Amino acid sequence: MKIKRIEAYQVDLPYAGGVYRLSGGRTYESFDATFVRIVTDTGLDGWGESTPFGSTYIAAHARGVRAGLEELAPAVLGMDPRQLDRINDAMDMALMGHHHAKTPIDVACWDVFGKAAGMPVCDLLGGRIPGKVAMISSIGSDTPEAMRANVARHREMGFMGHSVKIGAEEAEGGPMIDAERIQACLADRRPGEWFLADANNGMTPEHALRLLSLLPEGLDFVLEAPCPTWRETLSLRQRCRVPILLDELVQSEEDIIHAIDRDACDGVGLKISKQGGLTRTRRQREIARAAGLVASVQDTTGSDIAFAAILHMAQSTPRHMLRQALDTRSMVSVTTAAFDAPLQDGGAEAPDAPGLGVTPDMDVMGDPVAVWEA
């Protein structure tokens, strides 16, 4: 089987909640998504998506995905899409880094592989672990009471995990308001619920230490991505008793090995396009597993196709290490594909259909913005 044609599509995905706010005053209202369709000489095709979380989240941006595809697509034309490590080797030879550009090709190849084998992608990634995967809520920064109410709304919908966004600037209330936000969100905590306080790399160690000193003992939560650099993170780590999960700092196998070597964290946030596709996310998951780290499986937003990749990865991740997955569909107001994995009681299960199990809506996709042919 050979890749004979690669098509790229572009779709704007408005944020479903109006304005999404992250630490440091960053705001997002719409996400620029790139989709890749791979067509083989057998007639089978596969789809992948890469939607960076704006240009200020990590070193990834939407036009960079499409510029990267210009370098990558010619390198994989003619290759067997089922040979995923070889596909990734060829992409690495054509372009260093740029995980967000490699992701839609990698994911589309997994989709083809699954269709060719007659198996869902989760089975190819190690095997389905039956049952629904629990999804995490995303509680944007707001007043403590508004955030408490938002947690309650998600609790009513069945969510057992909540990602609470913190990292207020001093003028906004700084560590004091962050401490109030965490306490408000945990105030009605039920047994089995899991809370992240996610600063998205937006705090100094000084901010984090002041915040932690303001909290009473015994609050059960994990601090996610407190600081923007390894130095700051390691400094905080030595002086803090709260478990730490790293996200933006961990983007590759090397980063996970570095985190383990320095004992920098207790868990990692695996985002499919941040880690470089399903092939690399699986490698990083296995390294994390061997080190006894927990993991969440997410992406840097995205629509139905990004969620399909997330769900197949999460569905094959051992439950003892899996700390929730993200339903990116709930973040955007556009549906790009039919994907039979409804959200029920805060969870979803990957379908049994071969491949990812997605059927893209070609009216939404429109005409390709680029085509490469062997």
Instruction: Specify whether the CB–CB gap between 206 and 227 falls below 8 A.
Output: no
**Which of residues 301 and 303 has its CB atom nearest to Mg ion in the complex?**
301
Closest CA to 53 of 69, 64, 41, 45: 64
Minimum CB separation of residue 273 from Mg ion in Å reads: 14
Minimum CB separation of residue 63 from Mg ion in Å reads: 23
**Which of residues 269 and 277 has its CB atom nearest to Mg ion in the complex?**
269
Residue 99, classified by CB atoms within 10 Å of its CB into exposed (0-12), middle (13-18) or buried (19+), is: buried
Instruction: Specify whether the CB–CB gap between 48 and 83 falls below 8 A.
Output: no
Minimum CB separation of residue 79 from Mg ion in Å reads: 34
**Which of residues 115 and 181 has its CB atom nearest to Mg ion in the complex?**
181
Residue 181: half-sphere exposure toward Cβ, Cα within 13 Å:
28
User: Which residues are identified as catalytic?
Assistant: 165, 271
Minimum CB separation of residue 289 from Mg ion in Å reads: 20
Rounded CA gap, 204 and 186, in Å?
Answer: 23
Residue nearest to Mg ion (CB): 247
**Which of residues 52 and 269 has its CB atom nearest to Mg ion in the complex?**
269
Minimum CB separation of residue 270 from Mg ion in Å reads: 11
How many CB atoms within 10 Å of residue 41?
12
Where do contacts with Mg ion occur on this chain (CB under 5 A)? 198, 247, 269
Q: What sign does the CA torsion over 308, 290, 196, 231 have? A: negative
**Which of residues 205 and 269 has its CB atom nearest to Mg ion in the complex?**
269
Rounded CA gap, 94 and 36, in Å?
Answer: 18
Closest CA to 111 of 64, 45, 42, 31: 45
Please identify which residue in the block is written with the tokens 């090995």: 257
